[in-house]
Amino acid sequence: MPGRYRSGVQLTVVDHPLARARLSRMRDERTDNAAFRAALRELTQMLVYEATRELAVAEEPIRTPVVPTTGYRLAAPPLIVPVLRAGLGMADTAHGMLPESQMGFVGLARNEETFQPEAYMASLPESLVDRHVFVLDPMLATGGSLVHCCGLLTARGATQITVLCALAAPEGIERLRDSGLPLRVFTASIDEGLNENAYIVPGLGDAGDRQFGAV
Ligand code: URA
């Protein structure tokens, strides 16, 4: 994997029978919160698996019970950044697959005067120079929050940002492209588009409410 991504969005759709099955369970309105969280965790495994395919590995000498041989570990585990609240349901699974990774957190809320997303929390390392960052957010809808989040990361020097989302709307992908940010995006589906309330169609509803209940 190159040290920094080309500007623009590299999009990968993780279209796999198991991913389709998990996504269908998440879309189904009869799926309760617990089953939704379980399906999101399983889908996250598939997204992380694909998104880490080209991460650099370092060799290290190990011994099997039989002979010495060469072992491998990730050369530079990425920083994991779930976007609150919906990204929390992906965090533990991603961390389980990347146990050496550190985790940061970004919380975004809409400013009701400007209608723009604002960070109410950004728990991140001061410098992200030369660090891979994996951003977790199940829904790429308008793209406004993700552009804002990734802007916080690039302001700290990040040049290698990977966004993992369950679903994406074409409008959100376009917004990320327009931002000029150097991003890789892994999603299990590109849906039809957004409705008048900025929900993804057919989508799965509100990913936070579906996981944690409407509070
Ligand atoms: N956020 C969600 O949780 N669902 C959508 O459909 C769009 C944004």
**pLDDT tens sequence across 96-111:** 999 999 999 999 988 8
Residue 194 has a CB neighbour count (10 Å cut-off) of: 17
Q: What distance in Å separates the CA atoms of residue 31 and residue 86, rounded to the nearest whole number?
A: 17
From the CB of 203, is ligand 1 less than 6 Å away? yes
Q: Identify the domain containing residue 173 by its residue range.
A: 10-212
This complex has an ipTM of: 0.96
> 16 in a domain, yes or no?
yes
pLDDT tens sequence across 158-173: 999 999 999 999 999 9
Q: What backbone phi and psi angles, to 5 degrees, belong to 147?
A: -60, -45
Residue 162 carries which side chain, given as an amino acid letter? T
What average pLDDT does range 168-180 have in this prediction?
Answer: 96
* Long-range contact set of residues 95-99: C-beta below 8 Å, sequence gap at least 24: 97/45, 97/48, 97/49, 97/52, 98/48, 98/52, 98/74, 98/134
> 98 in a domain, yes or no?
yes
Residue 22 has a CB neighbour count (10 Å cut-off) of: 22
- Confidence class of residue 116 from pLDDT cuts 50, 70 and 90? confident
**Taking each helix axis from N to C terminus, what angle separates 33-51 and 88-97, rounded to the nearest 10 degrees?**
40
> 29 in a domain, yes or no?
yes
> 4 in a domain, yes or no?
no
> 67 in a domain, yes or no?
yes
Residue with the smallest CA separation from ligand 1 atom 6 is 199
Residue 66 carries which side chain, given as an amino acid letter? V
> 176 in a domain, yes or no?
yes
pTM, 2 dp? 0.95
Q: What is the CA(57)–ligand 1 centre distance, in A?
A: 35
Report the pLDDT value the prediction gives residue 7, as an integer from 0 to 100.
Answer: 64
Pocket probe for ligand 1: among 206, 212, 215, the residue whose CB has the most ligand atoms within 8 Å is: 206
Give the rounded percent of residues in the chain with a pLDDT score beyond 70.
Answer: 97
Helix (H, G, I), strand (E, B), or coil: what is residue 95?
helix
* CATH number of the domain encompassing residue 194: 3.40.50.2020
> 49 in a domain, yes or no?
yes
Q: What is the mean pLDDT of the chain?
A: 95
Q: How many domains does the chain have?
A: 1
> 200 in a domain, yes or no?
yes
Pocket probe for ligand 1: among 139, 149, 189, 195, the residue whose CB has the most ligand atoms within 8 Å is: 139
In this structure, what token pair is assigned to residue 80? 């994991």
**CA distances from residue 145 to 53, 61, 84, 106, 108 in whole angstroms, order as listed:** 26, 43, 11, 10, 7
